Chain A
Amino acid sequence: EADIYQTPRYLVIGTGKKITLECSQTMGHDKMYWYQQDPGMELHLIHYSYGVNSTEKGDLSSESTVSRIRTEHFPLTLESARPSHTSQYLCASRTGGGTEAFFGQGTRLTVV
């Protein structure tokens, strides 16, 4: 069973607020990812990291930012939330030589 955790699971927040979605893994994985998924749609990669102090943008443009100061922690921040940010955000990780990524349970964000 994968040890990757996301908090909060659900978040309803007002427009203009700053939010941080937390993601932590205890597996020592180098690579971490953030995906965004709308209902009935595919998962889109928005950020990824090869390791500490490494962050890259994914295929889907996102106004969010990420940081990777510690191996186990990969938080995602929205400086000013908007209703268009309403979505499910999924964090994942994998080892450098591994193949499959392990996912957290996701954060369902609603911006009102």
Chain B
Amino acid sequence: DQQVKQNSPSLSVQEGRISILNCDYTNSMFDYFLWYKKYPAEGPTFLISISSIKDKNEDGRFTVFLNKSAKHLSLHIVPSQPGDSAVYFCAARPFGNEKLTFGTGTRLTIIP
């Protein structure tokens, strides 16, 4: 039973445009959500996070939106740059729990 789902395995976006990566979850106990970026043969790098008490968090070109009623979060990257080409993982954790549950990732390709 996959509790964190990233239904788009891949996404291609023109350089300079907005990239939107989506993530759905089923566990209503999740209260903290994170996005990681991963290059091939590297470990994941933390990008941005959001607590369930917020619905938006912004850091530079990256913004994460959380819709708790829909159990949906999204990562917006604007403007998209070639260096953003990577696999993006959504992850979630219940309050007071060590276990971070990951989605299967979305491969983002930025087209120059």
Using known A-B contacts A42-B89, A43-B89, determine if residue A103 contacts B41 with beta carbons closer than 8 Å.
no
Q: Which of B4, B43, B99 interacts with A58 by CB under 8 Å?
A: B99
Using known A-B contacts A31-B98, A42-B104, determine if residue A105 contacts B44 with beta carbons closer than 8 Å.
no
- Nearest neighbor of A37 in chain B, beta-carbon distance: B102
A11-25 contacts to B, CB under 8 A, are none
Q: How large is the interface on B (under 10, 10 to 19, 20 to 34, 35 or more residues)?
A: 20 to 34
Q: Mark B46-60, 1 if CB is under 8 A from A, else 0.
A: 100100000000000
Using known A-B contacts A90-B44, A104-B43, A105-B42, determine if residue A42 contacts B49 with beta carbons closer than 8 Å.
no
- CB-based contact A48/B43 at 8 Å: no
Looking at chain A's contact residues, the main secondary structure is: strand
Docked complex Cα distance between A42 and B32 (Å): 18
- CB-based contact A103/B2 at 8 Å: no
Q: Smallest Cβ distance from B103 to chain A, in angstroms?
A: 6
Residues on the A chain within 8 Å of B105, using CB: 40, 42
- Nearest neighbor of A100 in chain B, beta-carbon distance: B46
Please report A residues at the B interface, Cβ cutoff 8 Å.
4, 6, 9, 31, 33, 35, 40-45, 48, 50, 56, 58-59, 90-92, 99-106, 108
Which 8 pairs from chain A and chain B are nearest by CB? A103-B43, A100-B46, A43-B102, A42-B102, A42-B104, A103-B44, A105-B43, A106-B43
Please report B residues at the A interface, Cβ cutoff 8 Å.
2, 4, 9, 32, 34, 36, 41-46, 49, 89, 91, 98-105
